Amino acid sequence: MIVVASPGQGSQTPGFLAPWLELDGVADRLSAYSDAAEVDLIAHGTESDADTIRDTRIAQPLIVAASLIAAAQLSLRAGRRADGVAGHSVGELAALVGAEVIAADDAMRLVGIRGRAMADAAAHTPTGMSAVLGGDVDEVLALLDELELTPANYNVAGQIVAAGALPALAQLAERAPRGVRVMPLQVAGAFHTSYMAPAVDTLRAAVADIAANDPTVTLWSNRDGAVVDAGQDALDRIVTQVSSPVRWDLCMAAFTAAGITGFIEVAPAGALTGLAKRGLRGVPNVAVKTPDDLDAAVELLTGSSQNGALS
């Protein structure tokens, strides 16, 4: 079983879409995605600087669009889709497209709304997120609770992302237990916490007119690592995950339990394959950062699985 995963916010870098635009048809597809998301993806993916694409309104559509482009190119070249899909945070929208729960244009419309709603929610109170690396998990969680911070992401053993008010995050860095590193993340808000409650309401209204299909491949939810069998449940989880912690650790445990034989992260890749090297030891993985990485991903997708061929 081969899993294709889409990354979350913070994985974007200046100019990362440029090599994808050299492929036939990609410019037209990105133009359509730009219209749906109400964001100029081509300009921001090729010309904008790091501070500009850090803006949640821009970052989220960029990431989902890149994942959709890379996944489509992978399936086209391999002649088949993955056996399973998942996404970290906003990447779950791309996973829903990969599982044929919703159409790509609907995903891009939703991610545009999601990004704007989350940016608006973040503007109410200055907040942020920091990766907490190492240490005893109970000790770390106790300190977060004392500082009124939320564990927003459980990425892998020994890596939690804390979210909340900026002064509290500064205290976390100052009071980090021995052996713990605290690294501020390039995101502009306390995502996946109660600070995002207003965005949940906005997104719930936005999905009301979307007809969701049941997944056609295995789809894991980043809320709890569960396999989602019903399309409406998958869409509901897209709404509620905005203010709920991302449990990527449980996703990787579920991948292991399912006996996956390969892991492919689509653009803008790197973060999830890094986690996979720790949480999915022995499982071959490929990070599709540019079109040059597609050959290795195709080889893994076509050579290590025996089912799931495209019709």
**What tens digit of pLDDT does each residue of 142-173 get?**
999 999 999 999 998 889 999 999 999 999 99
Amino acid at 59: A
CA distances from 77 to 81, 86, 259, 301 (A): 10, 20, 25, 10
Which SS3 state, helix, strand or coil, does residue 184 take? strand
Superfamily designation of domain 2-123+193-303? Malonyl-Coenzyme A Acyl Carrier Protein, domain 2 (3.40.366.10)
Q: Which of 6, 11, 48, 192 is catalytic?
A: 192
Using omega within 30 degrees of 0 as the cis cutoff, is the peptide bond preceding 268 cis? yes
Q: Which residue has the tokens 């993955």?
A: 82
Q: Compute the distance between CA of residue 165 and CA of residue 158 in angstroms, rounded to an integer.
A: 22
124 is a catalytic site residue: no
What tokens appear for 190 in the block?
A: 């306390």
Q: Locate the domains of the chain by residue range.
A: 2-123+193-303, 127-184
What pLDDT sits at residue 307? 37
What pLDDT sits at residue 265? 98
Q: Which residue has the tokens 């921001």?
A: 44
Q: For residue 306, what pLDDT band results from cuts at 50, 70 and 90?
A: very low
31 is a catalytic site residue: no
Q: In CATH, what class is 127-184?
A: alpha beta
pTM of the model: 0.93
Q: Which of 6, 34, 48, 89 is catalytic?
A: 89
